Structures are given as structure tokens and as C-alpha cells.
Amino acid sequence: MQRREVNISCLDFSFSQPRIMGASEDEDDEAHSSRSSKPSGSALFYCLIGNIPASFHASDLRNYFSAFVEEELFSCFHYRHRPQVITINNTRLEVDGNQSCVKQARCSLVSFVRDNIRESFVRKYNRKYWMDMEGNGLQGRCVIQQVKMCEDEFKRFSKELCPPKIMPRGNVGTCTQYFLNLIKQCRLPPSLIKKLALQFPLGR
């Protein structure tokens, strides 16, 4: 069955909530670089990942979506702890977990260069239970909705769609090998390595 793609203008997000204490891992604050006014290329394909556990950081998402991260299948996935307040035509997106978890859940917009990659992503992760760094299953499930982006909407998601140059595919979408190369060039702050929980093979 073909999945319905929802126009992003039909999605209702809340931006007025204050920043969550302890969730401002904003890795790009320490690796800040100039940003574009909007993401390059209007032919990208987008998904909204919802029901992200409030306790999750970029490192947890890198671990959960590692198959797509390390194969560089994301065009951009830059996690900003966006509060989940989402409706589609006055109908709330399907979520899992108890009411307390749902209210605290987060969401993130991600992009792909090809529609078939997006379809593969949805098939692999949609409605699957979240797992922590140790591989333990959590109560809620990952909920993914395919969406269309209007030109006027790019500015609303500029921080998620235009990550710093030091992490071109975002704090989640940039593969480990890319960061390893930056470390070899002494261009990656140690604090960023810790926040992203980057792990590399030990040299001899």
C-alpha cells in the first residue's frame, strides 16, 4: 500500500516552548559554522520522525539509526530536540506509550536525496520499538511520516536542515568515518566527540 505524503504546511508544530534543560546538547554551539539561508536543492525527500523519547540525544539516534548513518543515506539529520506537538488536518499523529511519555516526546525532520531511500527508511524503522544504547527495547515506538516541504517552510526548519559545515549531514546523519577524518586533522572539539558518543577502533 502506498504511503500518503503530507504537505508540511498541514503539520502544526509548537516553537514557543522554552529550551529543555539538559537537552541543549546543541553540538553545533561548540562547532559553530556559517549556515545557509535554506538547504540547497529543492528536490529532496522529507520525513518527520516522531515519538522520540525525551531522554534521547543525538548519540542515541546515531546508535538507533546506525545502518543509515554509516552508509550516509541521510541527506540531513540534525537533531534539535523539537517538542512533539503535531496534528495533520486536526488529527493527531499516531503515537505510542503512556500519556506522560507522549507529552514529553520529541520529533525531528530529516531529508533524503532519493525517494526510494526514504521508502526504505520508512519500511525499516516505522512503528518499530525504540532501543537504548545497550540494545534494550523501550516502551514507545518510532513513528515516521512522509512530508512535503513548501518553499515558505524552509526557514522554519533552517536549524535542522542547514547544519554546521563541520557536520554536513547533521549531528545524527554524518557518518563516523567523516568525524574520524576530522579528528586526524585536529579539527573536531573533544567535547563534541563525547556528546556524540563517537567510538573508533583502537590503533596499534
What pLDDT score does 29 carry? 43
| 125 has a pLDDT exceeding 80 | yes
**Count of residues for the chain?**
204
pLDDT tens digits for range 127-169: 999 999 999 999 889 999 898 877 767 777 888 999 999 999 9
- Computed over every residue of the chain, the mean pLDDT equals 78
Going from the N-terminus, what domains does the chain have, and what CATH number goes with each? 6-18+42-195 (3.30.70.330)
d(CA 127, CA 73): 20
